[in-house]
Amino acid sequence: MGGPTNAVRISGMGILPMRVFPSMGRMSMPRFSAKLPVLGVPPVWALIFRLEWSHPFSSFNPFFRMTSGVLSLRVLLCSALSAACALAGASAAPLEITQDIIPPGECGRPLHRPMSPVFITIHSTDNTARSADAWHHAQAMKNGFRARYNRTGFLTWHFTVDDHSIFQSLPTTETGEHADYEGDGNRSSIGIEMCVNRGNDIAGTIDRTARLTAQLMRRYHIPLNHVVPHMYWRMIRYKDGRDLGHKQCPGILLERGQLGKKWNAFIAKVALYVRRD
């Protein structure tokens, strides 16, 4: 396609390249501010974005009138930014975490194994039973969630999330049994399980998980590229050394068993919460 390429900078969101055609008109207005109404988002959360256009020869009016049948740039921007404004509204409510820690020396905590977390590992439970919410998973770990082949004989992770609650079962500075037996996934990462039970709002669960992840990143200075899916870790069984490969988890953020748009959208949501909360 012909025509010069400009860049739209949206404060806090980086640069979006766009192609502008000379035939659409010009005006000498290199910098300006505009309040953008966002469809479906209460006005109180409307944000003022500063748009900066650069071009080697001239500046263009971004709110030009497009040809018939094509949406204006204003509408396109409103649609693209609606999710960001929704996040701004959601982040106003405090993130409540119920601590329901497994007692030391019991079930999944027979030994004290300290950890300095440098990764966050994201899982989904794959349990679609209606009762398989965050509370029930937390109770299962307290009562002893049996497992074979690992060191403790139990499954444990740090947080369980559903659409309305978060339960913490392990201290974040203690090793869990959720990723790769005796590998770095267990030894150095905080494990978060997302519930997928019937009746649970999956989108709400993912959003709550993104907020929790952002909070943990800030607390432990964990970079975004150390937020990983369970399938990042190679699983070598502790008891017999069998190589189990990479588990296709978290299922709700994979596409045909692979990372793709869903995972990228989750990471983008986490990045927004790191900046906003």
The rounded distance, in Å, linking the Cα atoms of 122 and 211 is 13
For residues 52 and 6, what is the distance between their CA atoms, to the nearest angstrom?
A: 9
Q: What is the pLDDT of residue 22?
A: 35
Domain-wise residue ranges, the chain: 5-90, 98-276
Between 202-220 and 261-276, two packed helices, what is the crossing angle to 10 degrees?
A: 50
Which pLDDT value is given to residue 11?
A: 35
As a whole number of angstroms, the distance between CA 190 and CA 161 comes to: 13
- pTM value? 0.68
Q: What is the pLDDT of residue 6?
A: 37
Q: What is the pLDDT of residues 75-86, one digit of tens each?
A: 334 434 555 555
- The yes/no answer on whether domain 98-276 falls in CATH 3.40.80.10 is yes
- Residue 154 in this model has a pLDDT that exceeds 80: yes
Q: What is the DSSP letter of 44?
A: G
135 has pLDDT over 80: yes
Contact (Cβ atoms closer than 8 angstroms) between residue 90 and residue 55: no
Query: Which pair of structure tokens corresponds to residue 90?
Result: 């959601």
Q: pLDDT tens digit string along 10-34?
A: 333 333 333 333 333 333 333 333 3
Q: In the structure, what pLDDT confidence band is assigned to residue 149 with cuts at 50, 70 and 90?
A: confident
Is residue 103's pLDDT more than 70? yes
Give pLDDT, residue 88: 53
In this model, does residue 145 exceed pLDDT 90?
no
Greater confidence, 272 or 27?
272
| Greatest mean pLDDT among 47-51, 76-80, 97-101, 185-189 | 97-101
